[in-house]
Amino acid sequence: MPEPSNIKATITIENGPTLELPVYQGTLGPDVVDISNLTANGRFTFDPGFVSTASCESQITFIDGGKGVLLHRGYPIEQLAKHSSHLEACYLLIYGELPTAAEKEEFEATIARHTMVHEQLRTFYSGFRRDAHPMAILCGVVGALSAFYHDSLDVSDEKHREIAAFRLIAKMPTLAAMSYKFSIGQPFMYPRNDLSYAENFLHMMFGNPCEDYKVNPVLASAMDKIFLLHADHEQNASTSAVRLTGSSGANPFACIAAGIAALWGPSHGGANEAVLEMLEEIGDESRIDEFVARAKDKEDPFRLMGFGHRVYKNFDPRAKVMKETADEVLKELGLDDDPLLKIAKRLEKIALEDNYFVEKKLYPNVDFYSGIILKAIGIPTSMFTVIFAVGRTVGWIAHWHEMHSAPFKIGRPRQLYNGHKQRDYVPTDKR
């Protein structure tokens, strides 16, 4: 439990008690009022979407949405994107410190040696339809890992948790690439331990057994940045789903499968796929104004995908890095003239200047640019959220591990009940 500060909050309920509530002060961020004692006094708080609720205490990631700050273990995302790599960030998120050179080498070697999946897991894929969405496959096969790795299921054992972490970080790219290969009817590619994390992923996606696949270093670097920029984002919907699932003592693979399911929706990780679908639907620069008008129309549920964020109300620091990477990739591939990318660029300009978007602080988010990069690399849109899941796996694990490293309660929110009062059963002939 955190230490209460000297500040106190008081809550007075008409015809009820006046309660003094402890207030905690984190190293950064707003003060947090502890309302956990309200229940003992017969009251709950009401906070749909948890917009004002800190569900846990954490030391992993800090976000200041107003200032556009994202820190992992204190390090700004811009510095990590410039100087670090996804695997080094994985180490940082899990262990709390940047690795020494020897620790880094050992960690990378460990991950490389866990990339293969149990051979029998391959048969799971043939149970799916060829046109199955790769996120549907990923939810299934990641959950199924718990049936294969019985030696890392004891969540109270720190060593088990560590091995599960290695396995999940290492095997996710393999499982993701297999879901793509299955959809196009090509043989699965075995991972190659001599390649970096991102290179290996591109090799498993685009290589085939008949010829050598040369990984383009610009694309591998962009892929690594996409993984790194998605690595963690504090208590977002999927991470909260992982924590909630883990709070019941569920095994790590089941917890990560829950995270994948939560990530799938278009308001969260599904947005990068939705961005490309939206660009395709717009189809031509001449139709942009029509779609912008629809996004502004209160009667129309349509939203500009890839714009806006629950937490960032100024700019998304990940989007800044992604935009630079997008420019590098487009230049490398000579795709500056791609019609969809042209629509994206115009849309970005309009939204950055239009009053509606400026006033509501709806800036392009990370998914806007990551979608553009992935499309340029040749990755089909249905794989976009899968790639987000590969990057976010370490964040899910770090939070799950942090939760298990200290006492915690099972997650069990309450409700404001607004249904019928108690009533008596009515027999069918009297209804």
Three-class DSSP category at 72: strand
Q: Is 362 in the site for ligand CMC (CB under 6 A)?
A: yes
- Round to whole Å and give the CA distance between 108 and 138: 24
Span near ligand CMC by CB under 6 A; candidates 185-193, 282-290, 308-316, 390-398: 308-316
Pairing of strands 69-72, 32-33: unpaired
| Comparison of 49 and 209: residue with beta carbon closer to ligand CMC | 49
Shortest distance (Å) from residue 62 CB to ligand CMC? 15
Q: Is 365 in the site for ligand CMC (CB under 6 A)?
A: yes
* Residues 6+ positions from 107 with CB-CB distance below 8 Å: 87, 90, 91, 99
Tell me, what amino acid is at 286? S
Edge-to-edge strand ranges of the sheet holding 32-33: 8-12, 18-24, 32-33
Residues 62, 227, 270, CA angle at the centre, nearest 5°?
85
Q: Which of 230, 226, 253 is nearest to 400 (CA)?
A: 253
- Round to whole Å and give the CA distance between 328 and 334: 10
| Comparison of 171 and 309: residue with beta carbon closer to ligand CMC | 309
* Residues 6+ positions from 34 with CB-CB distance below 8 Å: 4, 21, 22, 23, 24
Shortest distance (Å) from residue 306 CB to ligand CMC? 5
Residues classed as catalytic? 268, 309, 367
Q: Is 317 in the site for ligand CMC (CB under 6 A)?
A: no
Three-class DSSP category at 70: strand
Tell me how many residues contact ligand CMC (CB under 6 A).
20
Contact indicator for 311, 65 with CB cutoff of 8 Å: yes
| Comparison of 274 and 330: residue with beta carbon closer to ligand CMC | 274
Shortest distance (Å) from residue 425 CB to ligand CMC? 40
Q: Among residue numbers 198 through 237, which ones bind ligand CMC (CB under 6 A)?
A: 233, 236
For 329-355, b/e burial (b = at least 16 CB within 10 A) is bbebeeeeebebbebbbebbeebeebe
From residue 153 to residue 192, what is the string marking binding to ligand CMC with x (rule CB under 6 A)? ----------------------------------------
Q: Is 370 in the site for ligand CMC (CB under 6 A)?
A: no
Shortest distance (Å) from residue 333 CB to ligand CMC? 24
Span near ligand CMC by CB under 6 A; candidates 103-111, 221-229, 327-335, 360-368: 360-368
Shortest distance (Å) from residue 308 CB to ligand CMC? 2
Exactly one of 80, 295, 321, 377 binds ligand CMC (CB under 6 A); that residue is 295
- Round to whole Å and give the CA distance between 247 and 116: 29
Shortest distance (Å) from residue 242 CB to ligand CMC? 14
Span near ligand CMC by CB under 6 A; candidates 7-15, 141-149, 182-190, 302-310: 302-310
Shortest distance (Å) from residue 249 CB to ligand CMC? 27
Q: Is 53 in the site for ligand CMC (CB under 6 A)?
A: no
Angle between helices 317-332 and 217-229 (to 10 degrees): 160
| Comparison of 215 and 278: residue with beta carbon closer to ligand CMC | 278
DSSP 28-53: SS--EE--TTTGGGT-----GGGTT-
Q: Is 268 in the site for ligand CMC (CB under 6 A)?
A: yes
Footprint of ligand CMC on this chain (CB under 6 A)?
233, 236, 267-269, 271, 295, 303-310, 360, 362, 365-367
